Structure 1
Amino acid sequence: MPEFEILNVQVSLNPVHAGDTVRFTVITDDSVKAPYGFEWKLEYENNEVNDTVTSSNQLVWNAPNENGSFRHEVWVSSESGEQVSDTYTFSVEVKKNSDSALSGDIVFSAKDQSGTFQIFRIDAVSSDFQQLTFFDIGEDATQPSWSPEGEKIIFTSNKYGISTGPALWTMNSDGSNQEVLYDPEPENEHVPPLIGEYPHWSPNGEKVLFQLCMNCQIISDYNIFTFNVTNKEVRQITYNQAIDIDPYWSPDGSKISFISDREYRESDSEDYYSDLYVIKHDAVKEKLTEKRHIRFPVWNSTTSEIAFTSISAPAGIYSIDLDNQEVSPIIENSSDRVQVIPHTWSADGEKILFSRLELDSPRNHTIYIFDKSRDSLYSIYNQIAPIGNPALDGADWFSQ
């Protein structure tokens, strides 16, 4: 009889796509403790096998860039290297992205080898990869957004930023011509950079929508602004001593959605929620949700639908039908230790770009595309970061 028994191996992702970073967790009885370890045999491309020895019951595996079923073996070993359990064998199915379902380019912010956030570009079909920014440590480039024609990208960077937020920058789609935006003050010879967060281009390309913290030294007080890229006019859209954040244009540019806790800030209740609002013609038109914990609303490009992250149980990505205000799930969290964030819809309105963050160590952060019409999930990019340090900060998709 073997001394120990491996009961199961949990696989962190399902399904697994080519290039994914996958975490295996061995489930044993409680008696398996140091000095015992685990030995693995992992099958890679071209039938290559890799032997790994670790004292941990977790192992990270980079899925190969091809379709197939990959066989893995693991067993418990003693300090002297003696096998003290039966060999547990399992297989992982790996799928490549389907060329027929995807198109266009995705920009996103991820950490480089120095731990600095940079902007990257990846082709959704071929996975061709390009780094667009090369900022120094501490100058993080984050929250990229495509212009309507895909010619430019707006993003934020701590370079030239101040205590209330980062500066807004633009660049060409290939990373060239990087410029900081400026808020003109004719009487000020030292023209300050335009400070803001979460920027998005208007559908006609004339304006940029962003949020700005007004009194961050005293209280979190965010409001929504627009910046006219032609005449450099900055216009404040919301005026409230609350958190008005995550602004997003409607497909025709006539409305703006955002998240706010304004009603709960003014109440005596200790329950602080964040609800979804829509603005039309500089006035709050409608509050669309009631007593929810919501973030990151994104308008569908072809329908009267807004997707958003809900932290309220059950957490996940939901959508609201603006015609009847019915809320329905799109992607439900697999556990309360997972966070999912929508970034944008595809041009045909059938697919949604989102990121998934595992809150336990190692923090596996992955960008996916979910195709509602096919009920299919496609992995685009994956990165692992230590506890407390998300590996991604913003993404956008220019699709055809």
Structure 2
Amino acid sequence: MKGVVGSGLFALLIWCGGGSRAWQASLAFATDRDGNWEIYLSDLRGERQENITRHPASDLYPAWSPDGSRIAFFSYRDGNAEIYLMDLRTGEVERITHNPSEDKAPCWSPDGSRIAFSSNRSGDFDIYAVELDTGRIERLTRSPGDDILPDWSPDGRAIAFASDRTGDFEIYVLDLRDGIERRLTDSPFLDSYPDWSPDGRKIAFTSMRDGDLEIYVMDLEGRIIAKLTDNELDDAVPRWSPDGRWIAYQFEGEGGGWRIGLIDLATGEGLELTGEEGWSAEPAWVPHLIASIAQPAQLLRLPWGELKLLGFREGYNENSGHSVGNRLSICIFGPRRRDSYRGGGRR
């Protein structure tokens, strides 16, 4: 289930394969169910899932571009961990980093112009950012420890990350305007995997402060607002849905191994998206609405509002479209701006 991005735009795509019914892709995640780690897409209930990378090397840590047209991930397909981009409209994969070190954990700037990532190219892991238009790479942190797992704030002004510069991993925020780094957590146990709320006022994170990995929410002063999970098994890697109603995360199954689940923040109820077929980890929400449709030109009634389908792009039909999954594209207006999307791209 996907809600509103910061711009107020929705993009609606049809995912179909050879005349099969359209379906809703809401999340990406990594799984080793096929024998090695691949990137999969899933609908909100876990009823339909699709392998989009299909490569013999390990592909991990998916991150959607702000316009939903591409997924960044890191892969060992060229020997060491590098950052790659997959264009979901064409299926083409582009290598973004070229360094003999390890480049991991990509995250997008809100405007889609840069990707932050963690790399040990200078010794310890630090946070870097690459400009996609030019390829220029900027080093953002220079601590004596490892700085990892960056997450860009919704307003683009800051990056949250985890660092063990003081001995154990804590959550920090880097202000990109002045370069000042501020420590948010102060626990003798691991605090990691920060994820900004859509309104930029809270951060969800993983912590071992109560004996095992659980998911917490804090404000920007480091005060704990909520403990979202509380059980004897590990819960980690929280990811807010863009409408702020859900958190996707990975949890330890009863028989061991990681699985993907959802938490409804209004009710506290959970939903399991993946089962026992291998390990599944690192969920990532599509940044705007991707919904299934049964009949063209119908009015879609969804929990967060209504959307009117305007029409198919000229020259497309049920059995045509783009190469990856034969995706069809339609044009739809968002509720706040008179912009439109066609073929996954902005017109």
Question: Structure 1 length normalisation: TM-score?
Answer: 0.61
Please identify which structure carries the higher strand content.
Answer: 1
Match of 1:110 in 2: 31
CA contact (8 A) 1:303 1:349 kept: no
- Whether the 8 Å contact between 2:206 and 2:238 is mirrored in structure 1 is no
Match of 2:237 in 1: 342
Shift of 1:246: 1.2
* Residue pairs, 1:174-213, within 5 angstroms: 176-183=91-98, 195-213=102-120
Note the C-alpha offset of 1:392: 2.5
Q: d(CA) in 1 for partners of 2:201 and 2:208?
A: 22
State the structure with bigger RCO (CA 8 A, min sep 6), 1 or 2: 2
User: 1:159 maps to what in 2?
Assistant: 77
* TM superposition shift of 1:211: 0.1
Distance in 2 (alpha carbons) for counterparts of 1:258 and 1:240: 12
Q: Give the secondary-structure state (helix, strand or coil) at the position aligned to 1:160.
A: coil
- What is the alpha-carbon distance in structure 2 between the residues aligned to residue 285 and residue 149 of structure 1? 29
Q: Distance in 1 between matches of 2:181 and 2:121?
A: 23
Distance 1:276 1:182, change over 3 A: closer
Q: In structure 2, how many angstroms separate the alpha carbons of the residues matched to 1:148 and 1:108?
A: 17
Percent identity among equivalent residues?
A: 24
The amino acid that maps onto 2:264 is D
Contact 2:101 2:121 survives alignment (8 Å): no
- 8 Å CA contact 1:161–1:195 kept in 2: the answer is no
Aligned to 1:257: 160
TM-score, normalised to structure 2, is 0.70
Deviates more, 1:204-213 or 1:324-333: 324-333
Unaligned runs of 5+ in 2: 1-23, 290-347
Runs of 4+ in 1 over 4 A off after TM superposition: 192-195
Superposition map of 1:1-400 within 5 A: 105-113=26-34, 115-125=35-45, 127-136=47-56, 139-162=57-80, 166-173=81-88, 176-183=91-98, 195-214=102-121, 221-264=124-167, 273-281=168-176, 283-292=179-188, 293-315=190-212, 316-322=214-220, 324-335=221-232, 338-358=233-253, 362-385=255-278, 391-398=279-286, 399-400=288-289
In structure 2, do the counterparts of structure 1 residues 175 and 213 end up closer, same or farther at CA, with 3 Å as the change threshold? farther
Amino acid of the structure 1 residue aligned with 2:112: G
- Cα RMSD (Å): 2.2
Aligned to 2:337: none
Rounded to whole Å, the distance in 1 between the matches of 2:281 and 2:262 is 16
Deviations 1:261-314 (A, max 9, x none): 2123xxxxxxxx221111112523321111342110000012410000001215
Q: Deviations over 1:54-95 (max 9, x none)?
A: xxxxxxxxxxxxxxxxxxxxxxxxxxxxxxxxxxxxxxxxxx
Instruction: Report the alpha carbon displacement of residue 158 of structure 1 after superposing the two structures with TM.
Output: 0.4
Distance 1:179 1:392, change over 3 A: same
Cα distance in 1, alignment partners of residues 236 and 158 from structure 2: 22
Q: Does the 8 A contact of 1:206 with 1:230 survive in 2?
A: yes
Following superposition, the deviation at residue 182 of structure 1 comes to 4.1
The SS at the match of 2:266 is: coil
Counterpart-to-counterpart distance in 2, 1:325 and 1:174: 40
Cα deviation for residue 384 of structure 1 reads: 4.8
Compared with structure 1, are the counterparts of its residues 174 and 355 closer, same or farther at alpha carbon in structure 2 (3 Å cutoff)? farther
Change (3 A) 1:194 1:227: farther
Task: Look up the equivalent residue of 1:299 and give its one-letter code.
Answer: W
Contact 1:153 1:170 in 2 (8 A): yes
* 2-structure distance, mates of 1:204, 1:195: 25
Amino acid at match of 2:28: V
Give me the whole-angstrom Cα distance separating, in 1, the residues matched to 2:90 and 2:215.
31
- Cα distance in 2 for residues equivalent to 1:179 and 1:247: 21
Q: 1:213 to 1:175 in 2, by over 3 A?
A: farther
How many residue pairs get aligned? The number is: 262
Consecutive unaligned residues in structure 1, runs of 5 or more: 1-102, 184-191, 265-272, 386-390
